Amino acid sequence: MQYERPGTLQDASRLLVETQGTAFILAGGTDLLVRSKSDDFEADLVVDIKSVDGLEDVRETAAGFTIGAAVSCAELGAHAELKAAWPGVVEAANLIGSAQIQSRCTIAGNLCNASPAADSVPALVAAGARAVVTGPDGTRTIPVEDVPVAPGETSLGKAEIIAAIELDKRPPRSGDAYLRFIPRTEMDIAVVGAGVNLTLDEAGTVKSARVALGAVAPTVVLVDEAADAIVGTKLEDAALEKLAELCSAACRPIDDKRGTVDFRKKVAGVLARRAARIAYDRAGGA
């Protein structure tokens, strides 16, 4: 195996284009290096992107936030402005692993690992986040939900790198939240995750919303019909009930030791309802 630590995206992309063998991008390594220990893992090249210029920080622009792909989740948690604007995204990112894992793990890595249970992904999808993808043919910006296509698989080309995750500037009266269910209180894989992001009008009525679920289908699910069910409401009980029902209906989960199909469906509704409530409170709704 060859290890490279390029200083520019162009060099990183070139290394990936030129290699004949199997290549991997290394961000925090908390997925990749775990995988690398299994017997069937083979890599000819590992391209560490943590020294690539421009990937190491969170920039606040007029349009919103640009989170470099090498920024650790611990650093996201320490970014006061980002946390104030997107508390749901940051709390989801900060749920990943332990203090040790937080020091290394990235949201781009969480997304590209393409686990159905990735914690930051439903929050990012609910937030309408975009991935800035750089490759040999230039740069394209795509919705984050277009990155994972199946468990462990992404839509990225061989030499494509996510350079950053973009989040919009927040309109007034906006809030987001992410909740997951795990059998323990820490250090476990989500059985269900739910992210809700919404904006209220001046009267406290939901003006727009996005709802996304994790761990209940092969990839993250954006539940438009559930979001529609709370738009135009003040999250009265009937609206929350409808939201929960539509979320449960949108699930296509598996049975495993962590939870049955029925349990996952039920919990998806419950978590979506609770997350919507938290997002609403954060948006200043009464």
Partner 1 sequence: MSGIAVSTTINGDEVEYLCQAEETLLDVLRDRLGLTGAKEGCGTGDCGACSVILDGRLVCSCLVLGAEAQGARVETIEGMAQGDTLHPLQTKFLEHAALQCGVCTPGFLMAAKALLDANPDPTEEEIRFGLAGNLCRCTGYDKIVRAVQDAAREMNGG
Which residues lie near ligand FAD (CB under 6 A)? 24-32, 34, 49, 69, 95-97, 101, 104-106, 108-110, 112-113, 118-119, 156, 161-162
Query: To the nearest whole angstrom, how small is the minimum distance from the Cβ of residue 272 to partner 1?
Result: 25
User: Could you tell which of partner 1, ligand FAD, none binds residue 95, using a CB distance below 5 to 8 A set by kind?
Assistant: ligand FAD
Interaction of residue 1 with partner 1, rule CB under 8 A: yes
Could you write out the DSSP letters of every residue in 82-139?
HHHH-HHHHHHHHTSS-HHHHTT--HHHHHHTT-TT-SHHHHHHHTT-EEEEEETTEE
Compare residues 154 and 174 and give the one whose CB is closer to ligand FAD. 154
Q: Tell me the three state secondary structure of residue 38.
A: coil
Q: Using an 8 Å Cβ cutoff, are 179 and 271 in contact?
A: yes
Contact region with partner 1 (CB under 8 A), list: 1-9, 10-18, 138-146, 260-268: 1-9
Nearest CB to ligand FAD, comparing residues 17 and 249:
17
Q: Looking at the chain, how many residues does it have?
A: 286
CB 160 within 8 A of CB 135: yes
Measured CA to CA in angstroms, residue 281 lies from 182, 196, 204, 269, 278 at distances of 24, 12, 10, 19, 5
Residue 2 binds which entry of ligand FAD, partner 1, none, with Cβ cut-offs from 5 to 8 Å by kind? Answer: partner 1
**Phi, psi (rounded to 5 degrees) for 47:** -105, 105
Q: How far apart are CA 180 and CA 188, in angstroms?
A: 10
Q: Shortest distance, CB of residue 216 to partner 1, whole angstroms?
A: 25
Considering the complex, state which of residue 61 and residue 185 has its C-beta at the smaller distance from partner 1: 185
Identify what 179 binds: partner 1, ligand FAD, none; CB under 5 to 8 Å per kind.
none
The answer to whether residue 3 forms part of the interface with partner 1 (CB under 8 A) is yes
The reply on whether position 101 binds partner 1 by CB under 8 A is yes
**CB distance 159 to 136 below 8 Å:** yes
CB of 140 vs partner 1, minimal distance in Å: 29
Closest CA to 3 of 31, 38, 33, 30: 33
SS3 percent helix, strand, coil of the chain, rounded to 5, is 35, 25, 40
Among partner 1, ligand FAD, none, what binds residue 48 when CB lies within 5 to 8 Å by partner kind? partner 1
Residues in contact with partner 1, shown as a per-residue x/- string from 24 to 63 under the rule CB under 8 A:
--x--xx--xx-xx--------x-x-x-------------
Tell me which residues touch partner 1 (CB under 8 A). 1-3, 5, 26, 29-30, 33-34, 36-37, 46, 48, 50, 72, 74, 97-101, 103-104, 186-187
